[in-house]
Structure 1
Amino acid sequence: MQEDMEYNIRFVGSYILDKTLGVGATGKVKLAKHSRTKEKVGVKIIKKDLFYDKPSLRLKIQREISVMKLMFHPHVIKIYDVLEDSKYLFLIIEYASKGELFNYLVEKRKLENREALKFFHEIISGLEYCHKHRICHRDLKLENILLDMKLQIKIADFGMASLSIPNIMLKTFCGSPHYASPEVVSNEPYNGIKADIWSCGIILYALVVGKLPYDEENDNMRKLFNKIRFEPPRIPRIIHPDCRDLIRALLTINPQKRITIDKIKKHPWYKSSPLPESCRISIQNLSFASVQNPISNPDPEIISFLLPLQLVKDKKTLCGILSTKKPSFLRVLYRQLEWRKMKMDSVRSNLINEANFKRKKLFKQGKLGNITGLKYWKNLKCKFLSINIKSFVRTGIYIYF
């Protein structure tokens, strides 16, 4: 860490930074460990200077944080906290130690039927959760699906995500061309949920065949898009017949005829192996009727995460809608954020209590090595306090920028 003079950060809140996991256009992602619970996390470090040159980037990150705050599922990457100092924004996210599904597939070339189905079960479970909470990912691809230490799926990178509002079609072309649906590459208004289903078909094809169904030499985008728009995928006959049938249903060119998640779950290939325990969680649709009670004193932190979704023009309008008895999509989102906040606080408290219990047990056993290690970190913090410790706040970034 000492060689990283540009960032020169050793601690972020309660987290001790370690090695760099990756470098992107907006900054670095570092591995970190909580000083008390020892939980490993990823810390995405973003320079605030970028927001002055690229206002659209600030909005994109605001929306990504707000969307991630809406979700809590075993197969969707979690965001634990958002911290900041005068120069940087820090996103504390779940750590997926086995990296991208893309790299895993490159190493194995292609997957056997049972392993591919296990991954597909978990992808569909996570995606169903997103869709039932009105969130379209819009950039599903092997690189944006991560694996944790148990090789469980974590859907990540919600930078292109959008809310699926009833009776409103999306228009923005986004995502990766090789995974984009025919209606998206045709620059037509599209349903984000149906576009995500197509991307799942591309992923499943890649898992069992070992390559993408649509590709073009020299990256000729015009030819690639024409293939996507007009040519059904060619699936090798060595692929299991039921799997071939599901891939065709997923990669149906007409979005109106494309298979839905409910029908995917009833498909013979999908049902040919028991669901993983993590995929058996019942997911309820967000209901307008269940959140009719007005919200007269909204939580400022939750408000700060609703505003970047740009469903209303300002805070006053938002609070006015929340305080009425009229059914509102915004109130549904508010209650979802409220529930998730309580859930995360509960998880954090459990981790701290567990860590404290283990520490007391070690001290009682007289394991002096642990005491020595604790003293080392305390001394290290004191040593670097004047130049490395930043002042942080838990942020509603819409307020502080």
Structure 2
Amino acid sequence: MNTVSTDDRYLHKKFIGPYILKKTLGIGAIGKVKLAYHSKTNKKVSVKIIRKILFSKKPDLKIKIHREISVMKLMFHPHIIKIFDVLEDSTYLFLVIEYASHGELFNYLVKKGQLHNREALCFFQQIVSGIEYCHRYRICHRDLKLENILLDKIQTIKIADFGMASLNVSNELLKTFCGSPHYASPEVFSNEPYDGMKADIWSCGVILYALLTGKLPFDEENDNMKRLFNKIRFESLSIPDTIFPECKDLLLSIFIIDPSKRITLFKIKTSLWYKSLPLRRTCRNNFLENIHVTTIQNPVFIPDPDIIKFLVPLRLVSDQSVLIKVLCAKEPNLVRILYRQLEWRKMKMDSLQNDIIYKAIKRRKKLLKKKVYIKKKEIHSKIEIWKQPYKFKNYVVVKLLIKITISFFFSLDGITLCPLTSCCFIT
């Protein structure tokens, strides 16, 4: 993490690191989220400001925040919110994340009431693409809901809030109940050990149903949790006739109580309704980084301290010393794969944030504009030369042009084509 020397007085100036803080986007239990601009690139970002004093009062909160940072650092996908930077001082922790200007999908749905089939499918394809990416890295979101899905300025889906995320390592079952009860799968609700990936698929189904109907599939007045659980567990789901039959089949295959029989992401992607709309480019590519096999096979003897900082909170091993030993092991392992992914992402994000690269791009644009201006001057000068009186004494150009004409001869028998060729000299 980068350290920024700042205090409350500095914060009042609305400037933190290279970012200029602007209006407040939201206020939560642990801090604020502010809109900010990069001072050099003018790029808009969101800055999550967390008071560090809360970490001493709630040690679990510190673990949760650092795990969220580590999980977000692992991912680089067009439908997952990006984390650009982590800054801190003695009082605050600043998470600089991607700015989604159109806010929550929940608010968008409230305004529209419900979405047409095509728009709902477009959003659903993007959500599935992002969740598939998470699952490839064994990351379970565990808190998927309309409020945690954001829209950018061109209404592209951005999955956010990985505070409840967990790594599903070696197919181990999870035990912690988390997320919103209305989006939670039956196995999560009943406090049984569960597969986080299967639970995410159930939540995706709840989101899809809400997009198409404008209401949640399982709801209860006064938020009576016992009745809500009984609805989810025992009552059959009522699907309106306005929903396409192929989509009905998909929803019914998602809302299966037994997680082992629940549809997989692969089968969702091959379903008739899902394929009825051409995929966006961002959904066609799975955006899994092609980390070279040799980099995973080769031991990491001198690990990057910054990367180690983000691997430790994932709790793949007991402590940092064990983590380093695992990275040095001969056999490839999940820890090394994640290390290489963080290494790749660090290089990628450094190139995006690097001031030198930004200056080079700016200089290149100026040069291109200058060349266009020079070309325009050259064209103008050539026109001026062409307008000058022709000087026969210098040279005479002789060109042989072949002129081909086709004549039509009409007779009683029909039409006859007769090609004629003629030559002429032009000087």
TM class, shorter-length: 0.7 to 0.9
What is the letter of the counterpart of residue 354 of structure 1?
I
1:366 corresponds in structure 2 to none
1:147 corresponds in structure 2 to 151
Q: Please, which of 219, 224, 238 is the counterpart of residue 220 of structure 1?
A: 224
- Aligned-partner Cα distance in 2 for 1:360–1:21: 38
Post-superposition offset of 1:244? 1.1
Q: How does 1:8-157 map to 2 (within 5 A)?
A: 8-157=12-161
Contact 1:205 1:213 in 2 (8 A): yes
Contact 1:288 1:327 in 2 (8 A): no
- Aligned-partner Cα distance in 1 for 2:364–2:89: 32
TM-score, normalised to structure 2, is 0.81
Deviations 1:328-349 (A, max 9, x none): 2111111111111111112224
Contact 2:49 2:95 in 1 (8 A): yes
2:361 corresponds in structure 1 to 354
Q: Please, which of 304, 317, 321 is the counterpart of residue 326 of structure 2?
A: 321
What is the letter of the counterpart of residue 169 of structure 1?
L
The runs of 5 or more residues in structure 2 that have no matched partner are 1-7, 371-427
Post-superposition offset of 1:203? 0.1
Closer/same/farther in 2, CA of residues 16 and 288 from structure 1, 3 Å limit: closer
1:309 corresponds in structure 2 to 314
Closer/same/farther in 2, CA of residues 276 and 136 from structure 1, 3 Å limit: same
SS at match of 1:179: coil
SS at match of 1:99: coil
Closer/same/farther in 2, CA of residues 292 and 138 from structure 1, 3 Å limit: same
Does 2:254 align with 1:250?
yes
Closer/same/farther in 2, CA of residues 251 and 41 from structure 1, 3 Å limit: same
- Aligned-partner Cα distance in 1 for 2:333–2:292: 6
1:295 corresponds in structure 2 to 300
- Aligned-partner Cα distance in 1 for 2:283–2:253: 22
- Aligned-partner Cα distance in 1 for 2:97–2:251: 32
- Aligned-partner Cα distance in 1 for 2:229–2:289: 34
What is the letter of the counterpart of residue 299 of structure 1?
D
Contact 1:36 1:352 in 2 (8 A): no
SS at match of 2:174: coil
Q: Which moved more, 1:326-335 or 1:34-43?
A: 326-335
Does 2:189 align with 1:185?
yes
Q: Please, which of 192, 196, 207 is the counterpart of residue 211 of structure 2?
A: 207
Deviations 1:87-122 (A, max 9, x none): 110000000000000000000000000000100010
Deviations 1:170-219 (A, max 9, x none): 00000000000000001100000000000000000000000000000111
Contact 1:202 1:213 in 2 (8 A): yes
Deviations 1:64-85 (A, max 9, x none): 0000000000000000010011
- Aligned-partner Cα distance in 2 for 1:355–1:18: 25
SS at match of 1:43: strand
1:372 corresponds in structure 2 to none
Closer/same/farther in 2, CA of residues 221 and 359 from structure 1, 3 Å limit: farther
- Aligned-partner Cα distance in 1 for 2:13–2:196: 39
Post-superposition offset of 1:134? 1.0
What is the letter of the counterpart of residue 361 of structure 2?
E
The alignment of Structure 1 onto Structure 2 pairs a total of residues equal to: 362
Post-superposition offset of 1:313? 2.1
Post-superposition offset of 1:232? 2.9
- Aligned-partner Cα distance in 1 for 2:160–2:13: 25
- Aligned-partner Cα distance in 2 for 1:286–1:251: 34
Closer/same/farther in 2, CA of residues 65 and 129 from structure 1, 3 Å limit: same
Q: Please, which of 170, 183, 200 is the counterpart of residue 196 of structure 1?
A: 200
- Aligned-partner Cα distance in 2 for 1:308–1:72: 19
TM-score, normalised to structure 1, is 0.86
Post-superposition offset of 1:354? 3.3
Higher strand share: 2
Contact 1:32 1:41 in 2 (8 A): yes
Q: Which moved more, 1:347-356 or 1:232-241?
A: 347-356
Post-superposition offset of 1:314? 1.8
Does 2:169 align with 1:165?
yes
Closer/same/farther in 2, CA of residues 6 and 54 from structure 1, 3 Å limit: farther
2:238 corresponds in structure 1 to 234
2:342 corresponds in structure 1 to 337
Closer/same/farther in 2, CA of residues 356 and 51 from structure 1, 3 Å limit: farther
What is the letter of the counterpart of residue 217 of structure 1?
E
- Aligned-partner Cα distance in 2 for 1:288–1:326: 15
Closer/same/farther in 2, CA of residues 283 and 361 from structure 1, 3 Å limit: closer
Deviations 1:298-350 (A, max 9, x none): 00000000011112222111111101112321111111111111111122245
- Aligned-partner Cα distance in 1 for 2:172–2:246: 34
- Aligned-partner Cα distance in 2 for 1:361–1:327: 47
Post-superposition offset of 1:361? 9.0
The runs of 5 or more residues in structure 1 that have no matched partner are 364-401
Contact 1:44 1:90 in 2 (8 A): yes
Post-superposition offset of 1:53? 0.6
Greater gyration radius: 2
Q: Which moved more, 1:176-185 or 1:165-174?
A: 165-174
- Aligned-partner Cα distance in 1 for 2:315–2:126: 31
Closer/same/farther in 2, CA of residues 209 and 131 from structure 1, 3 Å limit: same
